[in-house]
Structure 1
Amino acid sequence: MSFVTPDPFTTRPEIDGTFGVVTSTHWIATAVGMGVLERGGNAFDAGVAVAFVLQVVEPHLNGPGGDVPLILHDVRVGRPQVVCGQGPAPAAATIAHLRDGLGLDLVPGTGLLATCVPGSFDAYMRVLRDHGTWRLADVLAPAIAYARDGYPLVERICATIATVEALFTEHWTTSAALYLRDGGVPAPGTLFTNPALAETYARILREAAGGSREAEIERARRVWSQGFVAEAIDAFCRTEVMDVTGRRHRGLLTGADMAGWAASVEEPLAYEYGRYTVLKAGPWTQGLATLQQLALLKGFALDGLDPAGADFIHLQVECAKLAFADRDTFYGDPDFVAVPVETLLSDAYTDARRRLVTDRASLEQRPGTIPGHGKALDARASEGGRTAVGSTGAGEPTVGRIPSRVAPAEDGRAAENGRAGLVRGDTVHFDIVDRDGNMVTATPSGGWLQSSPVIPALGFCLGTRAQMFVLDEGHPAALAPGKRPRSTLSPTLALRDGEPYLAWGSPGGDQQDQWIPQFFLRHVHAGMNLQAAIDAPAWHTEHFPSSFWPRTSRPGVVVVEGRVGSATVAELRRRGHVVEVGPDWSEGRLTAASRDGRRRRAAANPRGMQGYAAGR
């Protein structure tokens, strides 16, 4: 372990060593991952162990019923790869069923209608089988132990449970049986157990045991997708569950949907930015929006700009508006629609788009035009000056109305609150580099405790990722059976001078691909180390429609940390931005790890008092 003097603008030192580093959004998961490296496991063994522990200790941010994209570099393979753990829509999930049959104009943000095939488990099994070295029982042991023996509840878990307490008590009684089992909302610091989840993983191990490491993993995949897990999910989805529409709906997911899907491996998208090649998952995520922002920003002189100053913020926000307008017009599952990635990243297209950036804030949604591709989202006016994507009519929600103001979530994002409770969860993230140079970065999410009721036989709930689909047949992100929703989940890996160098990411939904380029630009143009680039003041815009129900937008709004200073806020307002000033430490939950020769470095976000980096 190297002892590094902290940067005067950081909360803690950047981790610096030669053995290996682990960083995640929860200190317990980081410690577990580091323990795997210490006992001879590689980055992929550690990553899978970390992922399962995060499901236990951050159930308001991710769970077994959720999804994950991973980007990894295995030195034996020699090139980065994307592992897709984003499950698709069920076979019965059609626009006709939701829009015409049920009278909905948006996919609900809670309940069972928005459930896709849970993708994270199979993705982790594929990573462990193809790139790891440990047996499944050893990788699952920490998660089982914490679920069985208890972990301390962080304040945000308790706050989330409090938000949905009435919903649990009145409608989601299986969730109340777990999270309100002592008669009320548990206090922060309570040692909390989830015996049913511990038994789910213990039973998978029992039914998969025997033979080689790879044979056990393959049996575990079948137990999940075709055995007792799939059977319990199928049975639960046949029940009616209250959701944000104010009505009860059955789920569409079946055991056959689960049996027919498996995690896949893809080549990442790439964009050259000076010495760096920045890699993202495909346009079934929003990761391309980071690459589009970098393409736009490459045409501006960023060196020497104050990374928390008005010029820097204005340029990044205006380029983000253009990139996200394109996201909402062109992105979708490339297995179903032709996404014009090459054009979106081309010099000619980007040069034309860059000319739209002036010294004034744009208050319009301005997607590009590419003949034969894309369709702009339709929007309607709503309460409080906000905008919601969709159309008026019989499907108007009666529960969970759009508030005129928003309450800050733990990372500074907007949380939508209504009588149906909190309908948006968040996400976790981890980055790992081992002594051999193997790297993995992942952003797991979905299956939040507030997304749908707990399946009592399994100890976890299902995800609601299908709320990101559009109920418009002509749109690239239109709902269709077997199609992946256009996810917000967005890990990042970058090469430097052709060598794998940096892995990073953040929770935050639509804000992920705002904080991710901010971090990178601070590191590259301002020369900040990983910790300083994370700790620096941050911001986000809510200008474009949210990916989450009820799909609201706030044109021109930029939310900044108070630390950017009054002079910067005044200048941004002079340029036409609608600036809201949040708490000093409220924007983002970034983590990052790098390899530079023999050196291994890492950093984690201090916001929220949970994230930690470790290494030596």
Structure 2
Amino acid sequence: MLSRPELHGTYGAVSSTHWLASAAGAAMFDRGGNAFDAAVAAAFVIQVVEPHVNGPAAEAPIMVHDASSGEVTVVAGQGPMPRRASIETFRRLGLGYVPGSGLLAACVPGAFGAWMTVLLRHGRLRLADVLEPAIGYAEGGYPLLAPAAAIIEALTPLFREEWTETGRIYLDRGAAPRAGSLVRNPDLAATFRRIVREASAPGRARESEIEAAVDVFYEGFVAEAIDAFMCSAEMLDATGKRHRGLLRGEDLAAWRPAVEAPVTAGYRGRLIHKPGPWTQGPVFLQQLALLEGFDLGSMRHLGPDHIHTVVEAAKLAFGDREAWYGDPGHVDVPLRELLSPGYTEQRRALIGDRAAAGLRPGSPLGREPWLPPLPDETAPLEPEWMNQLAHGIPAVVRRTSQNRDTTCISATDRDGNMVVATQSGGWFSSSPAVPGLGFALSTRGQMAWLVEGHPNSLAPGKRPRTTLSPTIVQDGSGEPLLAFGTPGGDQQDQWTLNFALNSIDFAMTPQAAVEALTFHTGHVPSSFMPRQTPPPVVVVEEGLPAETIAALEGRGHRLQQVAARSLGKVCATGHTGDGLVFAAASQRGQQAYGIVR
């Protein structure tokens, strides 16, 4: 039995990882907006109400299906590393890695420019319309989520003594606020209000207004505040020392988000679209290519054959991610070969009846794969809150190994427009708030390697490979079907893969596909500092029959059962094919919500 209903409507649908964001997005339909307006409004609300996992300086790979052209595009909302950032820069600081917290890992903020690009190219509403809900929640307050409250509590000494600007925003008279309490961010409200005010002028056209907002952010007072902070502040980071940042106003002024073609592959008559190898997105397509050689639909859902086959395909695909993915604007990623039928057939032959040990990257075009060495296990740090800084993902360390969060926004309208994004970064637990702006900078630079010659090696102006990975699915004729994503760091393209397989191979309805028990392989090294490799296990939610567990163990798999409904928060919208739109949202975490009109 489903925990939530199947949601169908005739006008528009929104699904996101926060109910307030979904409501704000759906309200744009009532103003005459389309799916793109809805997604933009929802994205800015999420920046306010989920500050522990994202913010205005976040990254946001955004996938768009424009019904007027039938074209799928990617708005590349991942900013590059600063011009001052190089491997030698970090070596001069005595560092062999990019710290996962502090100022050194900051990239150019990508989310604001990316969402403005979506609004400019595809939306209908004006800037003030889509920012109004976010300004309202920042100014009037919003209920603090329990995970955010837990992180604030763990980091209260840091916010009181070191990152005092963050403490001024999020501490209540020096103490952590309780979960559910009303939290305000007047500085962020003022930032958004000023952007609207400076971008607006009597008689200015909607398009000119949006372009002016981008200039205000990347060349105006926002960029000036970031530049002044990064030039003068020395802030404590994961190294236990204080460092100045490398990002400058000139980095922001020189960047605007690109609009790119997606990477596309077929699967059982569908067209699957992902962002390029500057994300981990193509690993989803590599898994599907491998799995198309198996009759999954004839296997028992969540039976040993199903789980074994999917897990072994994931190990192969993620091995290639580790060896070959990086920013294609700077390195030669052999993506065509990685997705080619011949290479896929060779790799598929490696999937046997027994569990394979470890990652096995392939040799596309005869090129030799190379995986940089992972760091040794680090000793616990003192005081305890320093352990939080050492881990570059927004989670309370040791609270749960599965607390890997991000956000997701998906929207669809009756005209066939679809948009989906996994927005993350700029969370308050990894970087101090910029004085006067009300938000922190991203730490995505931690994902780049400080080694020469790897596709994901750090370089000035280069995007670090990100885990963020939304998906759009069309039918064989190009009609829009699904737009979906999930929080989850490195696990995103395993949990969403399960959702897609549930929908396509096992013919589940969207909400049933979202709610079904899920799993992933733990063989994938973390992309976040300190980049540790988890135990080589199959992580599965509670609920598998004992005979399935025994059968998987008999094939050599080690299983780790975690709490029921604890892996991911898949959010999806799309078309049913008979004139209706739908929204589906995971019940996991009890905060994702879908709304239809």
| Category of TM-score, reference length = shorter chain | over 0.9
Does residue 41 of the first structure (1) align with residue 45 of the second (2)? Answer: no
> What are the residue-to-residue correspondences of 1:416-427 with 2, within 5 Å?
426-427=405-406
Q: Given the alignment, which residue of 539, 554, 560 partners 1:559?
A: 539
Counterpart CA distance in 2 for 1:199 and 1:181 is 20
Deviations 1:144-185 (A, max 9, x none): 000000111111110121222222223211111111133311
- 2:517 is aligned to 537
Q: Structure 1: how far apart are the matches of 2:334 and 2:152?
A: 42
AA in 2 matched with 1:226: E
The question of whether the paired residues in 2 share the 8 Å contact of 1:429 and 1:505 is answered with yes
Deviation at 1:496, TM superposition (A): 1.0
Question: How far does the alpha carbon of each residue in 1:391-435 deviate from its partner, in whole angstroms, 9 at most, with x for none?
Answer: xxxxxx9996789xx97889x7546xxxxxxxxx63100111112
- Code of the residue aligned with 2:485 in structure 1: it is G
Aligned ranges 1:163-202 → 2 under 5 Å? 163-202=154-193
Greater CA drift, 308-317 or 26-35: 308-317
Q: CA deviation at 1:477?
A: 0.5
**Mapping for residues 46-445 of structure 1, pairs under 5 Å:** 46-98=38-90, 100-210=91-201, 211-238=204-231, 239-371=233-365, 373=367, 375-380=369-374, 382-383=376-377, 413-414=401-402, 426-445=405-424
- In structure 2, the CA distance between the partners of 1:574 and 1:400, relative to structure 1 (3 Å rule), is farther
Question: When the two structures are superposed, what TM-score results if normalisation uses the length of structure 1?
Answer: 0.92
8 Å Cα contact 1:339/1:373 also seen in 2: no
Are 1:361 and 1:556, in contact at CA under 8 Å, matched by a contact in 2? no
Tell me how far 1:290 sits from its aligned partner.
0.3
Within the alignment, does 1:463 sit opposite 2:456 as a pair? no
How many Å separate the matches in 2 of 1:437 and 1:327? 32
CA distance in 2 between partners of 1:530 and 1:400 (Å): 38
SS of the equivalent of 2:502 reads helix
Residue 407 to residue 584, structure 1, CA distance change in 2 (3 Å): farther
* 2:110 alignment partner AA: G
| Distance verdict in 2 for CA 1:221–1:436, change over 3 Å | same
Of residues 369-378 and 75-84 in structure 1, the stretch that sits farther from structure 2 once superposed is: 369-378
**Which stretch shifts more, 562-571 or 597-606?**
562-571
| 1:570-581 matched pairs, under 5 angstroms | 570-581=550-561
* Maintained 8 Å contact 1:375/1:475: no
Q: Which amino acid aligns with 1:543?
A: H
Provide the residue aligned with 2:571 in structure 1.
591
Q: Cα gap change, 1:165/1:373 in structure 2, threshold over 3 Å: closer, same or farther?
A: farther
Secondary structure of the corresponding residue to residue 217 of structure 2: helix
Partner of 1:73, secondary structure, is strand
Residues 315 and 43 from structure 1, CA distance in 2 versus in 1: closer, same or farther, beyond 3 angstroms?
A: same
1:608 is aligned to: 589
Please give the alpha-carbon distance, in whole angstroms, between the structure 2 residues aligned to 1:504 and 1:510. Answer: 16
Within 2, Cα distance between the matches of 1:288 and 1:463? 23
- Which residue number in structure 2 is paired with residue 22 of structure 1? 14
Structure 2 unaligned regions, length at least 5:
380-385
Deviation larger for 344-353 or 553-562: 553-562
Whether the 8 Å contact between 2:391 and 2:528 is mirrored in structure 1 is no
Instruction: Check 1:343–1:198 CA distance in 2 against 1; reply closer, same or farther (3 A cut).
Output: same
For residue 77 of structure 1, report the CA deviation from its aligned partner.
Answer: 2.6
Using the TM superposition, give the Cα deviation of residue 563 of structure 1 relative to its aligned residue in structure 2, in angstroms: 1.7
Is 1:493 aligned with 2:472?
yes
Counterpart residue number, 2:383 = none
Given that residues 408 and 571 in structure 2 are in contact (C-alpha distance below 8 angstroms), is that contact kept between their aligned partners in structure 1? Answer: yes
Secondary structure of 2:419's aligned partner = strand
**Contact 1:330/1:373, CA 8 A, preserved across alignment:** no
Q: Distance in 1 between matches of 2:391 and 2:358?
A: 21
Distance 1:85 1:288 in 2: 17
Give the residue type in structure 2 aligned to 1:256: E
What's the CA shift for 1:486? 0.6
Task: For 2:217, give the aligned amino acid.
Answer: W
**Which of 424, 448, 453 matches 2:432?**
453
Measured in 2, the distance between the counterparts of 1:444 and 1:223 equals 21
Find the residue that maps to 2:594 and give its secondary structure: strand
Question: Relative to 1, partners in 2 of residues 1:347 and 1:121: Cα closer, same or farther, differing over 3 Å?
Answer: same
Q: Distance in 2 between matches of 1:58 and 1:555?
A: 30
CA contact (8 A) 2:99 2:390 kept: no
| Structure 1 unaligned residues grouped into runs of 5+ | 1-7, 386-396, 416-424
In the aligned structure 1, how far is the partner of 2:552 from the partner of 2:77?
39
Written as runs of structure 1 = structure 2, the 5 A alignment for 1:465-480 is 465-480=444-459
Pairwise CA distance, 1:72: 0.7
> How far did 1:312 drift?
1.2
2:548 to 563, 568, 579: 568
State the distance in 2 between where 1:116 and 1:267 align.
23
Partners of 2:510 and 2:584 within 8 A in 1 = yes
When structure 1 is superposed on structure 2, of 495-504 and 113-122 the one drifting more is 495-504
User: Distance between the aligned counterparts of 1:163 and 1:119, measured in 2?
Assistant: 28
Could you say if the C-alpha distance between residues 434 and 584 of structure 1 is closer, same or farther in structure 2, counting changes exceeding 3 Å?
same
8 Å CA contact 2:410–2:484 kept in 1: the answer is yes
**In 2, Cα distance between the equivalents of 1:305 and 1:479?**
43
Q: Tell me if structure 1 keeps the 8 A contact 2:239–2:390.
A: no
**d(CA) in 1 for partners of 2:545, 2:161:** 45
AA aligned to 1:557 is V
User: Does the CA contact (< 8 Å) of 1:493 and 1:504 recur in 2?
Assistant: yes
Deviations 1:227-278 (A, max 9, x none): 1100111111121111111111111000000000001101100011111010
AA at the equivalent of 1:378: P
Counterpart residue number, 1:419: none
Cα RMSD, aligned residues only = 2.0
Do the aligned partners of residues 114 and 45 (structure 1) sit closer, same or farther apart at CA in structure 2, a change above 3 Å counting? same
Distance 1:80 1:74 in 2: 7
CA contact (8 A) 1:246 1:398 kept: no
Preserved CA contact (<8 Å) 2:62 2:77: yes
> Post-superposition shift, 1:68?
0.4
Distance 1:198 1:511 in 2: 33
2:135 is paired with a residue whose SS is helix
Corresponding residue SS for 1:284: coil
Contact 2:7 2:596 in 1 (8 A): yes
Measured after TM superposition, the shift of residue 574 of structure 1 is 2.3
Contact 1:374–1:476 (Cα < 8 Å) also in 2: no
1:564 aligned counterpart, secondary structure: coil
Identity of paired residues, percent?
51
Q: Verify the 8 A CA contact 2:568 2:588 in the aligned structure 1.
A: yes
Q: Which region of structure 1 is more displaced relative to structure 2, 306-315 or 435-444?
A: 306-315
Which residue of structure 2 lines up, in the alignment, with residue 394 of structure 1? Answer: none
Instruction: Work out the CA distance in 1 between the residues paired with 2:389 and 2:212.
Output: 42
Contact 2:101 2:389 in 1 (8 A): no
Aligned residues: 584
Whether the 8 Å contact between 1:310 and 1:572 is mirrored in structure 2 is yes
Give the drift of 1:481: 0.6
Q: Which residue of 2 aligns with 1:389?
A: none
How far apart, in 2, do the equivalents of 1:89 and 1:261 lie? 11
